[in-house]
Structure 1
Amino acid sequence: MPGTLTGVGAEGRITLAHGGGGSAMRSLIDEVFLSAFTSGPLTVQEDQARLDLTTLAKAGDRLAFTTDAFVVEPLEFPGGNIGTLAVCGTVNDLAVGGATPVALSAAFVLAEGLELAVLRRVVEAMARSAALAGVRIVTGDTKVVPRHACDGLFVTTSGVGVIRPEHTISIAAGQPGDVVLVNGTLGDHGAAILCARGDLALQTHLQSDCAPLNTLVDTLLRAVPDVHCMRDATRGGVAGVLSELAEASNVLVTVNEAALPVHPEVEGVCEILGLDPLFLANEGKLVAVVPACRAKHALATMQSHPLGRNAAIIGTLQTSSSGQGAVHIVNEFGGARVLTMPSGEQLPRIC
């Protein structure tokens, strides 16, 4: 029951004893983490997870591996919390490379004084997100630091997945003539986090778009196995992905500004604050690049999936006359501007 852990006082908060390796730490691991994550390898509690190579080899011919650290303020926000982010972010990094996510690790840095109830909600959200993605959390670690040494809670997740032989997706594989798609509205996560901080007195119903995208990616790849590029648009937003695509594939990316799907409330927040939704973070959006002959089929496939109902074709790839990659944004009057990445953060600590 909440509040019954060894080492937790009447106020129900994490203490330094929970990182000391004794009974308080054992109680924290058993009652918070193992109670939520126990399945398969975690039930054995070795110092490492053990994955069956035969099973992995049957699923594909390459192993994908990724890692990411998550910090966000506030820890809980409309549409999720830092635990949701951690699982979805790692699952999505694997999925957009064409990998089927298999297993995750999770490491927690807890600040002394963190409310136990908050930690429980974060861990429970991680378990739900992992179940939704069909992936297991198989190993982890916990550290406790003095109060004010971190903002409550940091999470680092790593993930492994298996790539099927038929997929060779790469940010450098874009070709002139290809078409660029996104699976939904831009900037929902960044705008939701900004409003959740309460600094701006903005009243909105915005929620983060945080979601595991592997089922959408699987659906797309079954229908369009020759997808050339995919990236999830997190920090830096869609603008960051397009800039990386242009540089890595050495192409001109031309974006139709009128085609960009943006939630009206996100658009309103951006107008008030002078922000651009292209640069706002997302946690449930991807950019896909497909051959032109497959674009309509790819769009219809995305729109048939719950996470792609608002999918749109937003641009094309062309040969760069300058010999260098670039991104041009074309407005409804035919005028074009060069997209340049900002030198600083528009929104700090959003993922």
Structure 2
Amino acid sequence: MIGKLDPETLRTVLDRTGASNPALLTGAAYGEDAAAIDLGDGETLVVSSDPISLAAEAAGTLGVHVACNDIAAAGADPEFLTNVIFLPDDDPDTIATLTSQLDTAATEIGVTIVGGHTEYVPTLSRPLLSLTAFGRTDRHIPTGGAEPGDKILLTKGAAIEATGIIATDFVDKLRDEGVDEAVIDRAATYFDEISVLEDSRALRDVATAMHDPTEGGVITGLVELATAANVDMVVDREAVPIRPETEAVCTAMGVDPLRIFGSGALLATVPADGVDAAETRLGEAGIASAVIGTVESSAATDVSAALVLDGERITEASDDQLYPFWE
């Protein structure tokens, strides 16, 4: 078994989070991207941790961006980062690659790596990273902030992260399936778009909620948004942008681009009268976006909040469809 805990098991874990503190504004909860801590004087510290255990060719790069994207989705600029690295052996090339990727990715977005921990764990078959990011904001944006009537925006497109992973970790399969080499090369560059910091900066003044769709992709991200806010996310699949390279590599792998790693895109809910401004700001930043649906009140009090995708109610996130390819 690989991936996120099911909601019930996760609830058990989250119910045991330790002593309470009045400074905690947003704590551990299903779907929330980051904790929010009141620093006083109108300032909020947001904190988020994320692991990287797969995507071997770009683990360091993804580790930085996945952790920092959660800070960005909470309305802050990531400032500091700690990294924990577990190595299966003492291969100097692995160490050099990981540390180089971590340093480059952090430098690119202006984040300072302030510490962490590194050790050997021979029982591992591949490196395991866990990174914690920190940032400050004067307007924390929770995952659970969506309101009925809001419009749902998606930046860039579905499966940005997965497209890069497939083009690097599974390149031989793509070639076996006849995917054009130029398509593979373009897909591999998608790692350059993993950060959503600029997306967040364009949207944070108008968004009611933002969320970074990671494992499980856009569908899981929308389920988490719906659950956190206790609303329905009503979405038209045809409205979700899917780039040609993504379509090509997903078809070759036999996976749904809406159900695989989605970092690089940002889901946001925006009041209907703020959509034009949001799209203008994104356009000025050179970021493509699309309105993919509407936030609605849940159908009844005894009905779970859901993603309503082309009329189908989805209340539970499914496993990421790329996971079986690493087993």
TM-score range, shorter-chain basis?
Answer: 0.7 to 0.9
1:67/1:90 contact within 8 Å kept: yes
Write the distance in 1 (CA, Å) between the matches of 2:324 and 2:140.
32
Write the distance in 2 (CA, Å) between the matches of 1:121 and 1:60.
40
The match for 2:32 is none
1:95/1:101 contact within 8 Å kept: yes
User: Measured at CA, do residues 109 and 90 of structure 1 come closer, stay the same or move farther in structure 2, by a change above 3 Å?
Assistant: same
> Shift of the alpha carbon at 1:59?
9.5
State which of 135, 142, 150 in structure 1 corresponds to 2:111: 135
2:88/2:125 contact within 8 Å kept: yes
User: Measured at CA, do residues 57 and 285 of structure 1 come closer, stay the same or move farther in structure 2, by a change above 3 Å?
Assistant: same
Is 1:159 aligned to residue 133 of structure 2?
A: yes
> Shift of the alpha carbon at 1:272?
4.6
2:143/2:228 contact within 8 Å kept: yes
State which of 315, 323, 327 in structure 2 corresponds to 1:348: 323
Write the distance in 1 (CA, Å) between the matches of 2:219 and 2:258.
5
Task: Name which of structure 1's ranges 97-106 and 193-202 shifts more when overlaid on structure 2.
Answer: 193-202
SS across alignment from 1:125: helix
Task: Name which of structure 1's ranges 100-109 and 268-277 shifts more when overlaid on structure 2.
Answer: 268-277
User: Measured at CA, do residues 57 and 328 of structure 1 come closer, stay the same or move farther in structure 2, by a change above 3 Å?
Assistant: closer
Q: Give TM-score scaled by structure 2 length.
A: 0.77
> Shift of the alpha carbon at 1:72?
1.3
User: Measured at CA, do residues 342 and 178 of structure 1 come closer, stay the same or move farther in structure 2, by a change above 3 Å?
Assistant: closer
User: Measured at CA, do residues 185 and 68 of structure 1 come closer, stay the same or move farther in structure 2, by a change above 3 Å?
Assistant: same
The match for 2:4 is none
User: Structure 2 counterpart of 1:260, which letter?
Assistant: V
Write the distance in 2 (CA, Å) between the matches of 1:349 and 1:70.
16
State which of 212, 229, 247 in structure 1 corresponds to 2:209: 229
Write the distance in 2 (CA, Å) between the matches of 1:190 and 1:129.
18
The match for 1:280 is 260
Please list the CA deviations of residues 52-97 of structure 1 after superposition, one character each: whole Å capped at 9, or x if unmatched: xxxx969961211111111114x21xxxx11101111111111111
User: Measured at CA, do residues 119 and 60 of structure 1 come closer, stay the same or move farther in structure 2, by a change above 3 Å?
Assistant: farther
1:101/1:135 contact within 8 Å kept: yes
1:250/1:325 contact within 8 Å kept: yes
SS across alignment from 2:264: coil
2:216/2:319 contact within 8 Å kept: no
> Shift of the alpha carbon at 1:349?
8.3
The match for 2:23 is none
> Shift of the alpha carbon at 1:305?
1.8
The match for 2:19 is none
* Unmatched segments (≥5 aa) in structure 2: 1-37
SS across alignment from 2:296: strand
> Shift of the alpha carbon at 1:275?
2.4
User: Measured at CA, do residues 341 and 235 of structure 1 come closer, stay the same or move farther in structure 2, by a change above 3 Å?
Assistant: same
SS across alignment from 2:54: coil
User: Measured at CA, do residues 262 and 326 of structure 1 come closer, stay the same or move farther in structure 2, by a change above 3 Å?
Assistant: same
The match for 1:246 is 226
SS across alignment from 1:172: helix
Write the distance in 1 (CA, Å) between the matches of 2:235 and 2:318.
21
1:251/1:325 contact within 8 Å kept: yes
Is 1:217 aligned to residue 200 of structure 2?
A: yes
The match for 2:5 is none
SS across alignment from 1:94: helix
State which of 284, 290, 300 in structure 2 corresponds to 1:322: 300
SS across alignment from 1:155: strand
Q: How many residues align?
A: 276
Write the distance in 2 (CA, Å) between the matches of 1:271 and 1:152.
27
2:154/2:266 contact within 8 Å kept: yes
The match for 1:312 is 290
2:76/2:140 contact within 8 Å kept: no
SS across alignment from 2:203: helix
State which of 124, 128, 142 in structure 2 corresponds to 1:150: 124
Task: Name which of structure 1's ranges 259-268 and 234-243 shifts more when overlaid on structure 2.
Answer: 259-268
Write the distance in 2 (CA, Å) between the matches of 1:83 and 1:349.
22
Task: Name which of structure 1's ranges 92-101 and 188-197 shifts more when overlaid on structure 2.
Answer: 188-197
Matches within 5 A, 1:53-202: 61-73=43-55, 75-76=56-57, 81-114=58-91, 116-146=92-122, 149-164=123-138, 167-195=139-167, 196-197=169-170, 198-199=172-173, 201-202=176-177
The match for 1:258 is 238
Write the distance in 2 (CA, Å) between the matches of 1:343 and 1:278.
11
Higher Cα Rg: structure 1 or 2? 1
Q: Give TM-score scaled by structure 1 length.
A: 0.72
> Shift of the alpha carbon at 1:240?
0.9
User: Measured at CA, do residues 269 and 211 of structure 1 come closer, stay the same or move farther in structure 2, by a change above 3 Å?
Assistant: closer
The match for 1:9 is none
* Unmatched segments (≥5 aa) in structure 1: 1-55, 331-335
Please list the CA deviations of residues 98-146 of structure 1 after superposition, one character each: whole Å capped at 9, or x if unmatched: 12212111111112253x2332122122112111111100112210133
User: Structure 2 counterpart of 1:243, which letter?
Assistant: V
